[in-house]
Every structure is written in structure tokens, then in C-alpha cells.
Structure 1
Amino acid sequence: MAPPSPSPSPRVCVTGGGGYIASWLVKLLLSRGYAVHATVRDPCDQKNAHLMQLDGAAESLSLFKADVLDSAALAAAVEGCEGVFHVASPVPADKIADPESEVMVPAVKGTLNILEVCSSLKVQKVVVVSSTAAVHYDPNWPQGKPKDESCWSDRKVCRDNEIWYCLAKTVAEETVWEYAEKNELNAVTVCPCIVLGPQLQRVVNTTSELLLYVIKGGPDVLNDMLWHIVDVRDVADALLLVYEKPESSGRYICAPNYISAKAMLEFLKKRYPGYNYVKCKADVHQNSRITPIVSGKLSDLGWKPRALEETLLDSIEYHRKTGNLQDVEGQTYRLPDIFRHFQAANE
């Protein structure tokens, strides 16, 4: 009697597969036996070469050329997949000149496109990466109460203060819930905070640029405010957890650790004393909208994130080994623009 044929691997799609979070998610999915369709802008671009070098990639990873604004290309990537992880979204490091075309359209229209594709192809579950940027900016939240999943950034506050990334993530996530309810789509959102940890891709991502700026120093003095930090590997774990748990629903804040800028600088200087660290204001920034937030809902699902110390040390070791912390003549470091609104102190 012939042995039973092995059951096919579950197949999922990851948008923006070459990015910081998505790369770790693809790595995790392959290690768990998934077949993965990953969308990238150009499968032949060297900045995506790390994906095909992952364990199991040769057998189980397929790269698809797709932009989030191209529904037909997205449909080709999603075809045959049981689930979709929508990770692709712009995180600009430079000053945003045209908010509509640079962040709003890719974030909002791109999200709507992938939701429509998932509906048309009867995808069983969609996990969308949002951000705590869609949580922090609620002027009416009770003072002293940690923010949770019921807290939403106010569109008007974001627009009036020109915090375009926060506005884009807020509108995009609201679009998820409006569409999912209207079309009975099984969707879950995950809201990570500042994501640090080692990289798999070569290009330094925006949040890692923030850490490099802190270590290497620069012209902007930082406010002594809270930094909510999560490890990129723990974000990948969270995304797979909410996908695999049938009881998962709604949004999940993914922000297990916070530390003041001053305390973080003291920690880093003690462990790595040889760098020209950024200056930090001595007094705590009292009026910041970045206040404590909680990840209890995600923890209740079984999420067990790393300690903050491990994330910070692993981040620095990665950048030290890759040479990103070496002084290069003529090279200056600057604060990524999306952090400038609340991180940079007024001199």
C-alpha cells in the first residue's frame, strides 16, 4: 500500500516582502513550513537578494513583482493563498513634500486594494500591519490612563500638526475596519511601535536610522520623552500568532517596552562608551502625546516578547558588525523626519 501523499504546505502572501518587518516574517513563515508568495517592486533588485538566501526559500518562496497600487499584480500574488499579511506601507525618512502621493495614497489606497483582492479571491484571513501612530494622538484620552486598543489617533490633530505618517496609518487602519465589516472579511490589525533589532535586508530602514542617529550624534537635541520599542522578531511572532489563532479579532497593540530617551542614552553609553551620542534635554517633555500604552490583549493571546535590553544590544551588535557605526568622512546623520515632530527639542 502506497504511503499517503504529504499534505501541501499552507500558502500565504506577504506584501512588501523585502522590507524590515516583512523579511523577518517571511523567514519565520518559511521556518514554520509555509509556502510564501512575497510581493516586491523588483524581484531582480539586489536589495531583495536576502530573501532567496533564507532557509527554505529555494523550495517554498516565490517573489512577485507587484506594487500596492496595481490590483492586477496583487491578485496574481494572492492567487492560491489561504491568508495574506499586508505589511507594505511607506515609512519615509526624508521630509514629506507631497503627503497625498508619498504616504496617503500608498497607505490608504494600497490597503483598500489588497482588501478588495482578498475578498474577490476568498482569502480566509488578512493580517494588516498598522502602527501605534494610529493610537497615540487622541487629545481626549484620560490623562494618566495607559492607552489601549480602544484609543485612536484623531485625524484632525494629525492633519493640523502635519503628522502625515500618523494620519496615513490612522486612515488606512480605519479603512480596514470599514471594509471588513461591510464585506464580512476576516481581518486583524497589529499596531507595532518603534521597531528595532537586527536587520535581514541590506538597506538601513527608517527606525534603524533613528537608532544610528542617537548613537552617532547629530545637530538635533532630543526631548526626554518615552520611546516605545518592540523587537522586529517579536513583531513577526505577533503577526503569525494572530494569524494562526482562530480566536484573534480586532486590533492588537504591539508595544511591550518603553524607556525615556535619557535612560536609554545612559544605558547605551554604559555598554558602548566610545560613540558621540546625541544630546538630550535634561527635563522630561511633559506635553508629549507619547504616553504609556499596553499590549495586554496580545499577551493574553500568548505573545511573549523579548526584554528591551536584548533588543537594544542585538540592534547595536548588528550595526557594529556591518560597519554602520563606523565614521565615514563627509557622512552626517540626521533625525528621520517622521520622528522630528515629537523627538526633536526646540532650542
Structure 2
Amino acid sequence: MGVLRSTQSLEAEVEEMRAALLLHDAWAWRPGGGAARAAEAAGVEARTVCVTGGTSFLGFAVVNRLLRHGYNVRLAIETQEDLDKLREMEMFGENGRDGVWTVIANVMDLESLHEAFDGCVGVFHTSSLVDPGGISGYTKHMARLEAKAAELVVEACVRTESVRKCVLTSSLLACVWRQNYAYDRRFPTTIDENCWSDESFCRDNKLWLSLGKTMAEKAAWRAARGTDLKLVTVCPALVTGPGFLRRNPTPSIAYLKGAHAMLAEGLLATANVGRVAEAHVRVYEEMSGTAGGRYICYDHVVRRGEEFTELQRQLGLPGRVPATPQDDDRPPRFQLCNRKLSALMSARRRCTYDAYFPVLYE
């Protein structure tokens, strides 16, 4: 399988780059003695990670954040069209040009994934399946494919000797949907990383993205069970930030299915893309220590109907201003808690009910 130097050689033909920059041979062409080359190669390999879905809104942010932290990134893309998209985006900045390679890999093909991951010490599975022809961008079929892809990614990590750690992007939607929560009007029920969405409830209410993320995360945990692979999942809220309306409209629309209910219950939240990307890198770096399990990631809870309507408007969705607890003085039924991630990222051990992040919308 060929590995391409994506950002410095985009003008060259794909096959030329593939032949010229094979990962296992690249170091032999560098000047210097064999021992020096071996030491340099070992150092780079220890900082080499693979990212799936790197052309997506979140995936690209994760790639850039990894580059800032000094990692070498192998970008797993699925088609020639994805490579063309990278050419058009021109989004890799001066600091990242020496640290990014691309490799063709199909997330539904175990052998392809194994070859893509070989030589990497970590994998960030950020890719998400989206059907651009669907009304919401996500269908019941997509949910099944999402789960299968996550399972195959983790199996490929386990199979690849060099890979030690995997960070999988899930969603807050995999935590919030249940039909049998106890309700005490005096004290909101806390939703944290220990909560899971009910798959039957998601199916009954056609919440396909919620179902897909729940199924995918559970499939990943099953595939990692009993192995030496260290797995962590990050569950972000609706990912926003500069450019999200232009680059992330379809996943955003899929996320907002059922949003009126989430808003009324205090469960509709957003997460700035930069914070989510940083969370991925932080949990990866802490996996050798105490970090593990799941992490909820959000920085703003949408609490008023006007905020929600603005989200709908910017995404081109019709809708009215719904009543919210803050509008009619009723307390929300639930309270989101990201204490675990906050403690990891800022050492502030507290339950963040509504931590405002300044850049939410484009």
C-alpha cells in the first residue's frame, strides 16, 4: 500500500507519489549513517498516528491539533476524490506540511485498515458515515454501517502490532436518549459518561444518528475487550465553530433530529471544534496513565428557544421558537456533566453545567 506525502506533492500524480514515498523506504533515502537513520526513524514512528476521516470538519481539526503537538500524521482517506478535496481545501498550513502523509484505506475493509495502520502507534477514528442523499443525512442503514466500521477499525488496531492506543469519536447522542429515567423535579438527573442511549428507544423514534453512534461505540468496546489495545471514546455535543455551517451542515442536521425534546430537557449542547480536537489529543496522551473509558465533551448548553432557532436558521432549517424551561420557569429534567474531561484538561474538578465558549457560530 502506498503512502503519499499529501501537502508537499499535491501537484504530482497520485501514482508517482505513491511509489516515491512508501513509508517503509522513505528513511533509507535520507542522508547520514544507518544508525542515525534508524534512530530518526524510531523517533518518528513513536510519534506517528493515523487519523480516519481527516477531510471532515472535526477530522481536519484533530489533524491540525496533532501537528501542533508534534505528531506525524498518516491521513487515511478512502478515495481519489478525498485526495482531490484536500487539494481544493489547502488547509494544512505551513507548520503541518512536513508531518502529514495520506494513504488510501477503506474503513469497511479490515486488510486495508491493517495496512494503513501498520507503523503507527495510535489511531484516531473520527470518520462518520453520512448519506448526502438522505433528508437528514443519516439513515438506519448508515447506523449499521457505522457500527461495522467502528468494529473493523478496532479489530485492525488489535491486529496491527505497532498500534497501542485508539481514540474513537462517538457522540453525546450516545448518552442522552432513554425512556425510563426517574424524574425528581427538585434535582435534575445527571447525564455523564456512565449513561448510554437506549437503542430500542432510538429505533422507535427514528433517531438514526443517535442509534448509529451508540451501536458503533458499543461495537468498538466489544472488539477491544480482552485485548492489549487501549481504547478511549470521546462523546462530543453538536460540533460548532468557524466554518461549521459551510463544512458540516449534513452531520449537524442529523444531530438536531429530536432537538426540540433535547432542548426542553436540558440536553441540547454544543462543542467548539477546537476544544473537541484538543480533547482527542489530551485523552490520547493521558492513556498511558489514568485516562480511560468515555469522555463527554461540550462547552455550552443551549437553554433558550432563541438560541435553538438561530441554529436552525443558520443551517437552513424551518422551525418555530419552542418553549424551554428558562422561558416558562420550569427546571430542566436533566443536567449534563463533563467533570471527567474538565478534570483531565484543566484540573478543575467540577460539574460544568453551562460553561460558555465564546465562538459558537460562524
TM-score by length of 2: 0.71
Residue type at the aligned position of 1:293: L
Corresponding residue of 1:198: 242
Distance 2:294 2:317 in 1: 39
The question of 1:257 aligning with 2:294 is answered no
Match in the other structure for 2:280: 239
Equivalences for residues 163-242 of structure 1 within 5 A: 163-199=207-243, 203-206=247-250, 225=264, 226=266, 227-242=268-283
- What is the aligned counterpart of 1:133 among 161, 173, 178? 173
For residues 292 and 207 of structure 1, do their structure 2 counterparts lie closer, same or farther at Cα, with a shift above 3 Å needed?
farther
1:14 is the counterpart of 2:51:
yes
Matched, 1:120 2:142: no
Inter-CA distance 54–141: structure 2 relative to 1 (3 Å threshold): farther
The answer to whether the aligner puts 1:48 opposite 2:86 as a matched pair is: yes
Once superposed, what is the RMSD of the aligned Cα atoms? 3.8
Counterpart secondary structure, 1:29: helix
Give the superposition deviation at 1:309.
5.0
Aligned to 2:143: 103
Q: Using the TM superposition, give the Cα deviation of residue 146 of structure 1 relative to its aligned residue in structure 2, in angstroms.
A: 1.5
Contact 2:136/2:254 (CA < 8 Å) preserved in 1?
no
2:127 maps to which of 74, 80, 88: 88
> What's the CA shift for 1:84?
0.4
Matching of residue 35 in structure 1 with residue 72 in structure 2 = yes
The Cα shift of 1:86 comes to 0.6
Give the C-alpha shift of residue 183 in structure 1.
2.5
Q: Deviations over 1:215-269 (max 9, x none)?
A: xxxxxx967634311101000000000000122111111123202242526999x
Give, in whole Å, the separation in 1 of the partners of 2:175 and 2:337. Answer: 11
3-state SS in 2 of match to 1:135: helix
**1:23 — aligned with what?**
60
Amino acid at match of 2:320: K
Residue 308 of structure 1 pairs with residue 349 of structure 2: no
Preserved CA contact (<8 Å) 2:143 2:215: no
- Of 107-116 and 301-310, deviating more is 301-310
Whole-angstrom CA distance in 2 between matches of 1:97 and 1:130: 17
TM-score, normalised by the number of residues in structure 1 = 0.74
How far apart, in 1, do the equivalents of 2:277 and 2:202 lie? 28
CA contact (8 A) 1:230 1:256 kept: yes
Call closer, same or farther: CA 1:290–1:135 in 2, change over 3 Å.
Answer: farther
Give 3-state SS (helix, strand or coil) of 2:336's partner.
coil
Matches of 1:97 and 1:192, distance apart in 2: 18
Q: Is the 8 A contact 2:177 2:197 kept in 1?
A: yes
Shift of 1:89: 1.4
- Cα deviation per residue 1:101-145 (whole Å; 9 max; x = unaligned)? 33312x111011111111111311111111111100122333321
How far is the alpha carbon of 1:310 from its aligned partner?
Answer: 1.3
Once residues 136 and 297 of structure 1 are traced to their aligned partners in structure 2, the CA distance between those partners, rounded to angstroms, is 17
CA contact (8 A) 1:128 1:188 kept: yes
Instruction: Give the structure 2 partner of residue 150 of structure 1.
Output: 194
Task: Select the structure with the greater relative contact order (CA < 8 A; seq sep ≥ 6).
Answer: 1
When residues 22 and 201 of structure 1 are mapped into structure 2, their CA distance, relative to the original with a 3 A threshold, is: farther
Contact in 1 for aligned 2:138/2:208 (Cα 8 Å): no
Q: Is the 8 A contact 2:62 2:278 kept in 1?
A: yes
| TM-superposed deviation, 1:90 | 1.9
Partner Cα separation in structure 2 for residue 63 and residue 185 of structure 1: 24
| Residues in 2 aligned to 1:31 and 1:104: alpha-carbon distance in whole angstroms | 35
- Distance, in Å, in 2 between the alignment partners of 1:201 and 1:60 is 28
Structure 1's unaligned 5+ residue stretches are 214-220, 269-274, 317-347
SS in 1 for 2:64: helix
- Look up the SS of the partner of 2:54 in the other structure: coil
Query: Number of residues paired by the alignment?
Result: 299
CA distance in structure 2 between the partners assigned to 1:113 and 1:267 by the alignment: 38
1:266/1:101 Cα in 2 relative to 1: closer, same or farther (>3 Å)? closer
CA positional deviation for 1:280: 0.6
| Separation (CA, whole Å) in 1 of partners of 2:310 and 2:138 | 38
Q: Is the 8 A contact 1:67 1:73 kept in 2?
A: yes
Using the TM superposition, give the Cα deviation of residue 51 of structure 1 relative to its aligned residue in structure 2, in angstroms: 6.0
